[in-house]
Amino acid sequence: MNSKKGSRNVVAAGFGATSDFTVRVYSPTGNQKVVEAKVPWQTGKGGAIYWPLDWLQDMMKAVRSYAGRGDLIAGAMPGADLVFLKSGFPLKARHYPSTPEGVLAEITAKIPALELYMATGGANVDFYQPYCQLAAMFASRSTMWNTDTIVPLADWLTGVLHNWRVGLRADQVMWQSQGLATLTSEALYRKLFGKDLAAKLFRSDFFRRCEVVRDRASGAIIVPVTHDSVPARMVGFSQCPWVIWSGTWLGIAFCLLKHLGIKPTAQTFAAGIAFEGIGSSRAAITNIAQLGRAYKWMIGFANWDYATAALQANTVIDCTRPYDLTGMPTDEAEAKTWLRELYNKRSPQAAIAGLLKSAALACHQKLEATAGVLRLAAPTEISVIGGWAQNSAFINALRKLGYKVHIPPFAAEATHAGLAADALVRVGDAKTFNEALAMLR
């Protein structure tokens, strides 16, 4: 392996929102998945879920092993989880889905949600944001008082990848678009948690845009670990400004914010629109629901694989009625039972087609509503990324709603391909993201 333009490998590592850790290696001759592992989550009191920090360090060593001199390493993770450190040793990192109910209400009783939203540049004020995680950890006084530093998990992973040779610096995307930028406001955190916690919050210089660091031991070039949805959306934006992303979550995004001067407002807050990313990746995003998980359960009822389910559903989707999904329970066990009852009322094909048609309709409604709030014309062209980009029934349902649907290259592996393309731009192998994406095999 060498560092000549067009001949280096790119090692892209990413975590799913709720499950897998996957590593792909993009080379001049092709790309391959080299690691796929379930995260062995650790559980604590009250259903709390924690990242397995020793396991994460081992995974980062595995990632480094696939890169040689001149090769690139890029990584991404979901959410804005935080690591609590004592003398540099990691104690705990709580995963955002297990933040207790009621924490957000406690926070917003001190600082109104709209005020937090505006102060963080439109961060998604929801249960997984870092200030809610801090409140949950603050309730565990022993953990809080035994901590001397609190850092974003993404930046801790970057440090592990670098073998701590460059110190710990912060990724701009995580800090500025995930609500972490407010950590620089000691007054805000003193108001929320008191001066003792505020003094422990990590402060550092940001990695500069396009900054990379060379690992002296291997000669590999390392890109700071970032938020997983940003590189994925860039793959979608390579085709058009409106994107539907699929996976565990289903949601939509619109870019060109800087060009059009779109900013967070009280109206975007009321509509549930968050603003994520930095530079050309900055987007207005809106979550719809965790329908990917519901779809997985439903095809499990039929005992089909993904390809079979999509093909079977597509044969009846035109004549299938959508469901009213607003009543689906949020509790996992209750949601399974609820979906099973829907499934039993139709044939397997019609049951699955109904769910996909409902998802397409939900996307359509959210696209039009978001465009209205942003004062834009309703979109007629959309990109689809994630696993459902390969779902013929879902794509057909979108087209029946009048959309011209684009399926970008690498749509089903958008996070990893986006990381690889961004890394190639950072080292100057390509001038634009689209040019870099075209270099991948």
Instruction: Write the CA distances from 19 to 35, 71, 374, integer angstroms.
Output: 14, 27, 33
Smallest Cα–Cα separation from 314: which of 395, 204, 369? 395
What string of H, E and C letters represents the secondary structure of 375-405? CCCCCCEEEEECHHHHCHHHHHHHHHCCCEE
- Identify the residue whose tokens are 């990724």: 171
The residue ranges of every structural domain in the chain are 10-228+414-439, 239-407
Q: Are 239 and 379 in contact (CB under 8 A)?
A: no
Residue 92 β-bridge partners: 84
What is the predicted pLDDT for the residue at 142?
61
Distance from chain centroid for Cα 243: 14
Sign of CA dihedral 6, 10, 16, 19: positive
Q: 232: Cβ–Cβ under 8 A, 6 or more apart, which residues?
A: 245, 385, 386, 414, 415, 418
Q: Does pLDDT of 45 surpass 90?
A: no
State the pLDDT confidence band at 350, using cuts at 50, 70 and 90: very high
Neighbours of 87 (CB within 10 A): 6
Distance CA 19, CA 36 (A): 10
**CATH code linked to domain 10-228+414-439:** 3.30.420.40
Domains 10-228+414-439 and 239-407 are alike in CATH topology: yes
Q: Does pLDDT of 129 surpass 80?
A: no
pLDDT tens track for 177-200: 877 765 556 677 777 777 777 677
pLDDT tens track for 130-175: 777 787 777 766 666 678 888 889 989 998 998 776 566 788 888 8
Region of residue 95 (left: phi > 0; alpha: psi -120 to 50; beta: else): beta
Q: Average pLDDT for residues 198-212, to the nearest whole number?
A: 75
State the pLDDT confidence band at 96, using cuts at 50, 70 and 90: confident
What is the predicted pLDDT for the residue at 397?
96
Select the more confidently predicted residue: 410 or 332: 410
What is the predicted pLDDT for the residue at 3?
45
SS3 category, 11:
strand
* 387 phi, psi to nearest 5 deg: -60, -35
Q: Average pLDDT for residues 194-218, to the nearest whole number?
A: 77
**CATH code linked to domain 239-407:** 3.30.420.40
Q: Are 17 and 72 in contact (CB under 8 A)?
A: no
State the pLDDT confidence band at 278, using cuts at 50, 70 and 90: confident
